[in-house]
Structure 1
Amino acid sequence: MEKTILQRFLSLFSRTTYTITPESFKEQFDGVNLESFREVKVRNPMNEYSPLVYKANQLKKIVVVDENTHRIILDNSPKLETRFTLKDGKRTTFYFDTIALENGFLIGQKSRMIPIAGKVEFDRIQKIEIQNGGKQYKYY
């Protein structure tokens, strides 16, 4: 019984991580390029009177797999974070709604507060994980 209580308590603070194969990711991001981005406003958790404004991809949903290999459909959200593990073991993380696929490269933003862009050659990606970062971002 103590173990069950502990598991429930820990589940309140854990973030579910989903995976997606690079092939499926590429397929679902077909046509998602920087030209298709639109300006969005997001609630700023640091200052509710000054929303964050940036350009975001218009992908509505993404199909991922949970730890039990069940297919799950996630809605695009400013809370989603995407971690890419490269074949050399290095990792990089982008906010999901800022990701585009351009000429064999994945482009995305690493931060909401400071516009730090990142770029990764898509063929170097070995593993992709997506999770709700738990931050208080939401679209207006």
Structure 2
Amino acid sequence: MKLPLFLFLLVLISCKTYTISPDSFKRQYLGSESNKMRQVEINNPLLIGKTKYLLNNVKVLEVTDKNGNIVAMKNEPSVEMRVTHKNGQKYHYYFQMVLLDRDTLKGGRSVFLNLTRSIPFDSIVKIEIQNNKKGLNYYENAPDALLAETDPKASKILVNSYDAIANIGEVLKNASFSLDSVDVSVSKLRNIDYATCLFKKSNTLISIIYIKEKDALQMIKTREYNQVSGKGWCINDFYLENNKVFLEERWILFDGKLINKNPERYEALKFNKSLNADFLKKFTSEIYDRIEHTP
């Protein structure tokens, strides 16, 4: 199974999928002054800090459900758009970041990484809309008071990670492979490697970011999405020196808030308890080794 190579796109399960014809989309989009993009800030669960991005001015989109009924869908950060090209290729976007520029559809494939794509609008034969309810909102309470901030070496790496994410550049290479019962998709960028991993037996999806400086691996961040609540993530940070972890930290981000770090809360929210820190250190190391040796 090949997974999309960008942040926060989850397997399309359990959420309702709606459709909208290209003509209807274009009519609604142009009628909303959407080309007047506005800048917003959103808390970034991958890092401690905020991400700025431009979004369109569509407030509500009229879409059609599987029974042919017209449904009004509010435009919010978790709404995703999948378009099908006339050649059968499918492309994913975050709807808020979509821009229709003359006859070209442009948009972001991730809220947190600078991954974009442009395609001719007249090549689109199908548009699907889905709200994955990922808990992405404009919060003012980003988590703080992290252990890494009190460690000089880790604090420096944390600051460097901000720059790495902000200046990742374009995708240099994409790859997919399987590791036992795990399907892995990878994007290699200038300062980071990004992987999505689907554990097929438990249907658990995690993302991994490998942050480097001058080709030296400095930090590994993992994020496990809580499919039960649809609002939470379990995040692990591993800080490295000479390829060895010298500091590790785990926290739970739920509904935009840092709620707890203890194991009891982790299990109460029904995260995958098999994905503990010891397992993730070994697993992410094996994945990174595969990435480095993938031609």
Does TM, normalized by the shorter one, top 0.5? yes
Alignment of 1:24-35 (within 5 A): 24-30=24-30, 31-33=33-35
Equivalent residues of 1:45, 1:137 under 8 A apart: no
- Unmatched tracts of structure 2, length 5 or more: 1-12, 140-295
Q: TM-score, normalised by structure 1?
A: 0.83
SS of 2:134's equivalent? coil
Matched, 1:108 2:110: no
SS of 1:41's equivalent? strand
Counterpart-to-counterpart distance in 1, 2:91 and 2:39: 24
In the alignment of these two chains, the number of paired residues is: 125
Counterpart-to-counterpart distance in 2, 1:67 and 1:52: 35
- CA drift of 1:59 comes to 1.0
Deviations 1:87-123 (A, max 9, x none): 1100111100000111100000011221111101000
Counterpart-to-counterpart distance in 1, 2:28 and 2:68: 18
- CA drift of 1:136 comes to 2.2
SS of 2:25's equivalent? helix
SS of 1:29's equivalent? helix
The residue aligned with 1:4 is none
Alignment of 1:1-140 (within 5 A): 14-30=14-30, 31-33=33-35, 36-47=36-47, 49-140=48-139
Greater mean alpha carbon deviation, residues 130-139 or residues 20-29: 130-139
Higher normalized contact order (CA 8 Å, seq sep 6+, divided by chain length): 1
Counterpart-to-counterpart distance in 2, 1:51 and 1:132: 22
- CA drift of 1:64 comes to 0.2
Counterpart-to-counterpart distance in 2, 1:45 and 1:97: 18
Deviations 1:37-81 (A, max 9, x none): 11111232334x512211111111100001111111111101000
- CA drift of 1:85 comes to 0.3
Counterpart-to-counterpart distance in 1, 2:43 and 2:70: 30
Counterpart-to-counterpart distance in 1, 2:43 and 2:60: 21
- Unmatched tracts of structure 1, length 5 or more: 1-12
State the AA in 2 paired with 1:92: Y
State the AA in 2 paired with 1:46: L
Deviations 1:14-53 (A, max 9, x none): 01001000000000111422xx111111232334x51221
Counterpart-to-counterpart distance in 1, 2:62 and 2:44: 27
In the TM superposition, structure 1's runs of 4+ consecutive aligned residues that sit over 4 Å from their partners are none
Equivalent residues of 1:42, 1:78 under 8 A apart: no
Counterpart-to-counterpart distance in 2, 1:46 and 1:86: 31
Structure with max Cα Rg: 2
Counterpart-to-counterpart distance in 1, 2:79 and 2:29: 15
State the AA in 2 paired with 1:53: K
The residue aligned with 2:203 is none
Q: TM-score, normalised by structure 2?
A: 0.41
SS of 2:135's equivalent? coil
- CA drift of 1:132 comes to 1.1
